[in-house]
Chains A and B, each alone.
Chain A
Amino acid sequence: MEEEAFTDINGKPITLDCHSHSSFCREFTVSSPKVSIGKVMVYTCSVWLLAYAVFFFTQNTAVLSSAILITLVGMMLHIHFVKVDHESLLVIGSLGIQVSSSYASGREVTTFIEMSKIKDIVINEAIYMHQIIYYLCVLLKEPFEPNEVSSVVPLFQSSKPRLGCLVKVYKSCQEILSTCQ
C-alpha cells in the first residue's frame, strides 16, 4: 500500500492510493480534497447577502426563508450528487473491473465490467470544456465482433487526474491485463 500526491487538470492536489491485494488483483483509489469550509462560507454568504438585498427592497420575509432553504437543499444535493470524495478502480485479472465512486454524503455508486466484455484500457485525449485533456478509459468489445469497439467507459470522471497519475494506473493495469490474456 502506497500513497502518492498528484494534481488534477485544474492544479488541485489529489492523492493516488495503490493497494496490491495479490499479483492479479490491484485497487487504485483517487481521493480529492474534502469540501473546504471557506468555500461553503463564501457560497452561503453570497446567497444570503443577495437575499437580504432583495428583502431590503421587497420587505417580504419569504425571501429570507427561501434563501435558507436554498442553501440547505443546495448543500445536501451537492454532497449527495456532485461532490465525489474517492473514486476507486479495482482490477481483478480474469474476473473484471469494478469502478466505484463514493460521494461526500456516503452514497456509493458501483459498476462492474466483466473481463469478457473488456477489450483494453487506454489513455485517450478529449476536448473537455475549454481544455484538451488526457483521460483513462475502458474499451468495451462489440458482442459478436471481438475486434470492434462498441463503447468507451471513462474512468476517474470527477477527479480528472493529470497524465502522470494516469500513466501510473495505466501501467499497472496493463501488467494485470497482459498476464490474464
Chain B
Amino acid sequence: MGQRRRAGAVKTLSSERDSADVARICNRKHNICMVSDFFYPNMGGVESHIYQLSQCLIEKGHKVVIATHAYGRRRGVRYLTNGLKVYYLPLQVMYSQSTATTCVHSLPLLRCVFVREQITVVHAHSSFSSMAHDALFHAKTMGLNTVFTDHSLFGFADLSSVLTNKLLTITLCDTNHIVCVSYTSKENTVLRAVLNPEIVSVIPNAVDPTDFTPDPSQRPADRITIVVISRLVYRKGIDLLGGIIPELCLKHPDLHFLIGGEGPKRLVLEEVREKYQLHDRVRLLGALEHKDVRGVLVQGHIFLNTSLTEAFCMAIVEGASCGLQVVSTRVGGIPEVLPDDLITLCEPTVRSLCDGLEQVIAKQRSDSFPSPASIHNRVRNLYTWKNVAERTEKVYDKVVGEEVLPLAKRLRRLRSHCGPVAGSIFAFVAMLDFLFLLLLQWLLPDRFMDVAVDATGPHGLWRQKTSRKKFD
C-alpha cells in the first residue's frame, strides 16, 4: 500500500509539472508487459499482432516482455528474435486455449513477472483471453498502469456475449486506456463495456507488405480464380460461400475457386462440390500456414471475403497487397479498411455477393483493372507495423502519466459502474485480491526478488551484444 501511495504521489507531482517536461516524458522508455492467452505456437491474428508490435517497440528502445500460458511442453522462459522474452506460465487451460479464471490464482506468478521485470505498463490483448482479464485485475491491484486491446466484435443478445460483456465492463471500468482496431470496433466496445469514448483509441492492425508481394505470372491465363482464405466457421459466412459457388460456376465455365482454411463448415463446401460435380473447379486446401498464404493468394484474380462479423479484416489487406481485386461483405469494420476503388462491397446475402462478383469478373475480362503492382504500391504504405508502434507508444506515454485508482476509489468505481450485484461481487474479489497481494508481500517481500537482467530496453544486453559483434 505504501508503495502505491508513493507511486501515486510521484505521478501527481509529474502531472503538475508544465509542458517543458512533456518532451522528456515523451522520450521516456517504458517497460511493457504484453499479456494474452494467445501467443505462438498458437497461430492467429492476435498472436502475430502481439509479436509484430513487440518487435517494433523493441526497435524503438522499449523493454518488452510477453506473458502467456504454457503450451504443452513449452513452459518456462524463452527468448525470441531480438531478445523478446516470453514467459510461458504453467496455468491451467480450460477451453480453446483460454485459461480458467478465478481472478486470484494467477497473482503469485504474474506478480513475480511484474516485479522482477520492473514493469510500468501492462498491456493485455483480446477479450477472449481470461489471462488478459486476470492480468489487468492484478496490475491494478499492484498499482500499475494498464492498457487493453480489443481484437473482436461481439453481439449483445445471446447468453455468452451477455456474460463476456459483463466481464469486459468490470475489467475495463478502471483500465487506463483501451485500444480498438477499427472505428466500428471502438463503437462496439464502448457500447458493450459502457465506457467513456475519450479513453478509447483506434489503432488498426498492420500487414508486413514485404511478405505479400504480387506475382501475376503465377496466375493461369485461361481461367479466373477466386481465392477465399478464412477459417471455415459460421462467423466467416461459409454458408454464403456455399450458395455462391454453384450459381457462379454454372454461369462462368472458366471460373475456379481456391479455398484455404479449416473448420466445421468444411462439410458445407464438400457437400456443394459433391452435388454439382465441381471437384476440378473448387479446390479445398485445408489449413494453411502463414508462410504459405502468399503462395495461394498470387494464384488468384479475385479475393472473396464473406464474413458476417469482423472488427478489422487483415485478410483483405493481404489480398489487396498481393494485387487481387477484393470483394467483401459490408459488415463491421470492413468498409473502413480499404479505399473504395480497391474493394467491392456487397450486402451479406448470396444475391448481392453474386452481383458484386459478376461485376468484378466482367471488368476482369475486359482488363479494366489497374495492374497488381500498382495496387500493391498503394496498399503497402496504408498499414505498417511501424506506424502501429508509434501510435501505441503515444498511448503508453499518455497512460504512464495517469493515476492508478487506489483501492477505495476502485471499489466505488466498480460498484457504481457495474451494477449493484456484479459490482459488489467484483468489489469483494478486488478486496480479496488485495489481501492476497498483502499476504504474498509478507511471505516474499519485493526486495527478495531478483530483478531480471534486461534483454531489451535502454539497458538491454541483447542489442549491445549484437552491435559489438558487428564491430568485431
Using a CB–CB cutoff of 8 Å, the interface residues on chain B facing chain A are: 75-77, 87, 89-90, 108-109, 112-113, 116, 444-445, 447-450, 452
Contacts and interface: CB of A to CB of B under 8 A. Distances in A.
Given A125-B76, A125-B77, A127-B109, A132 B87 contact: yes
Contacts of A134: 450
Interface in A109-130: 125-127, 130
A11 B116 contact: no
A10 B448 contact: yes
B450 A162 contact: yes
A127 B89 contact: yes
Contacts of A126: 76-77
Closest 8 CB pairs of A and B: A130-B108, A11-B448, A163-B450, A125-B77, A132-B112, A162-B450, A131-B112, A127-B76
Contacts of B108: 130-131
Interface in A97-152: 125-127, 130-134
Nearest to B450: A163
A132 B116 contact: yes
Nearest to A167: B453
Nearest to B113: A132
A9 B109 contact: no
A61 B29 CA distance: 69
A123 to B, nearest CB: 9
Nearest to B106: A130
Q: Which of the listed residues A7, A126, A163 has the most CB atoms from chain B within 10 Å of its own CB? A: A163
Contacts of A130: 108-109, 112
Interface of A: 7, 9-11, 125-127, 130-134, 162-163
Contacts of B90: 127
Contacts of B447: 11
B16 to A, nearest CB: 37
B462 to A, nearest CB: 15
24 contacts: A7-B448, A9-B448, A9-B450, A10-B448, A11-B447, A11-B448, A125-B77, A125-B452, A127-B75, A127-B90, A127-B109, A130-B108, A130-B109, A131-B108, A131-B112, A131-B444, A131-B449, A132-B87, A132-B109, A132-B112, A132-B113, A162-B448, A162-B450, A163-B450
Contacts of A7: 448
Contacts of B109: 127, 130, 132
A67 B89 CA distance: 40
Q: Which of the listed residues A9, A10, A11, A125 has the most CB atoms from chain B within 10 Å of its own CB? A: A125
Given A9-B450, A131-B444, 6 more contacts: A7-B448, A125-B76, A125-B77, A126-B76, A127-B77, A127-B90
B138 to A, nearest CB: 13
Contacts of A125: 76-77, 452
Nearest to B447: A11
Contacts of A127: 75-77, 87, 89-90, 109
Contacts of A162: 448, 450
A126 to B, nearest CB: 6
A155 B113 CA distance: 23
